[in-house]
């Protein structure tokens, strides 16, 4: 269910009207996003496959950055909580 919500969010962002000529999508995640176990992650990682699919669905130009890091989770990419939200 979480994956479906993320895909839906991605599609909403990807197809929202922007003034820039190229839409650029940044993928964050763990080793799966990075494509660690794949022979050719540049073409077979989930972000690369998503962009390949997207290019068949739209005439708009898209770019992407794969920021997947082995051992990290999405939470690791979020900004740190400030001192006011710390629990003691």
10-41 pLDDT, tens digit each: 666 666 665 547 788 999 888 988 899 999 98
pLDDT of residue 46: 92
pLDDT of residue 53: 93
Tokens of 73: 């989770």
Would you say residue 84 lies in a domain?
A: no
User: 30: domain range?
Assistant: 21-73
Would you say residue 3 lies in a domain?
A: no
Count of structural domains within the chain? 1
pLDDT of residue 39: 92
Would you say residue 56 lies in a domain?
A: yes
Would you say residue 36 lies in a domain?
A: yes
Burial 23-55, CB ≥16 within 10 A → b, else e? bebebbbeeebbbeeeeebeeebbbbebbeebe
Say if residues 64 and 46 touch (Cβ distance below 8 Å). no
Which range is most confident: 3-7, 33-37, 79-83? Answer: 33-37
Would you say residue 10 lies in a domain?
A: no
Q: CB-based contacts of 64: which residues, under 8 Å, 6+ apart?
A: 24, 25, 26, 27, 47, 50, 51
pLDDT tier at 59, thresholds 50, 70, 90: confident
């Amino acid at each position: 269910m979480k994956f479906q919500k993320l895909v839906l969010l991605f599609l909403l962002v990807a197809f929202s009207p922007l003034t820039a000529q190229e839409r650029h999508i940044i993928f964050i995640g763990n080793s799966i996003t990075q494509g660690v176990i794949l022979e050719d992650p540049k073409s077979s990682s989930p972000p690369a496959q998503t962009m390949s699919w997207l290019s068949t669905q739209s005439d708009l130009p898209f770019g992407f950055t794969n920021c997947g890091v082995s051992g990290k989770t999405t939470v690791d990419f979020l900004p740190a909580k400030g001192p006011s939200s710390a629990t003691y």
